[in-house]
Amino acid sequence: DIQMTQSPSTLSASVGDRVTITCRASQSISSWLAWYQQKPGKAPKVMIYKASSLESGVPSRFSGSGSGTEFTLTISSLQPDDFGTYYCQQYISYPITFGQGTRLEIK
Amino acid sequence: EVQLVESGGGLVQPGGSLRLPCAASGFSFSSHWMGWVRQAPGKGLEWLGNINQDGSGTHYVESVKGRFTISRDNAKNSLYLQMNSLRAEDTAVYYCARVPYDGNAYYDYWGQGTLVTVSS
């Protein structure tokens, strides 16, 4: 199974900050990676797919990059609504696996 | 508008069974792979399995193989998760989700989730 490891586990940042979350795969997954945002009590929402493609309706301050085993999700200018937990997910092969999550708090 | 609505959650005893339906609307259900993901209280997301468009092909995570079965009824626009031999560690919110494109098994739409509690 492909292990997905996110860092940091928790992140506290201020409105307007540039924020970066990292996801590492235990083996190459090419660009088959998605990022989700989840708010408490709600279902996850896809933000980025295929490592760098922005899902329709997602603000352009979100971007994804990387390929192979190292990926990043960047929020260029943090907004109050961006709080929540972010998960990466690989879908190059079964079983599909998620990272453990990064909790983003707004200072 | 794409909608996925899970139901059927509740309290079940260890060793018991439960079937979770997921009603789909607003899209061509029979054209999409579908999947189930769960989230234990305070924990991360765990993928359970996917099913192809006509139900002839499934994939499961090892931890539920032989206990959980994913099926679908395209005539009823419904997805199902049959869970048998339930354990305390199966306590979680269960989500159904849609795969947007063949060969791209991420999820673009999710249901609101249904809580399953396994306890005596």
Task: Dump pLDDT digits (tens) for A73-99.
Answer: 999 999 999 999 999 999 999 999 999
Residue numbers in chain A where pLDDT is lower than 70: none
**Residues on chain B bordering chain A, Cβ-to-Cβ distance under 8 angstroms:** 35, 37, 44-47, 50, 59-62, 95, 100, 104-108, 110-113
Q: How far apart are CA B27 and CA B100, in angstroms?
A: 11
Looking at the predicted structure, is the pLDDT value of residue B90 above 90?
yes
Residue-averaged pLDDT of chain A: 97
Instruction: Supply A39's token pair.
Output: 């708010």
pLDDT at residue B104, rounded to an integer: 78
Instruction: Name residues 66-95 of chain A within 8 A of B (Cβ).
Output: 87, 89, 91, 94-95
pLDDT at residue B103, rounded to an integer: 73
B44 and A101 in contact by Cβ < 8 A?
yes
Identify the band that residue B102 occupies on the pLDDT scale cut at 50, 70 and 90.
confident
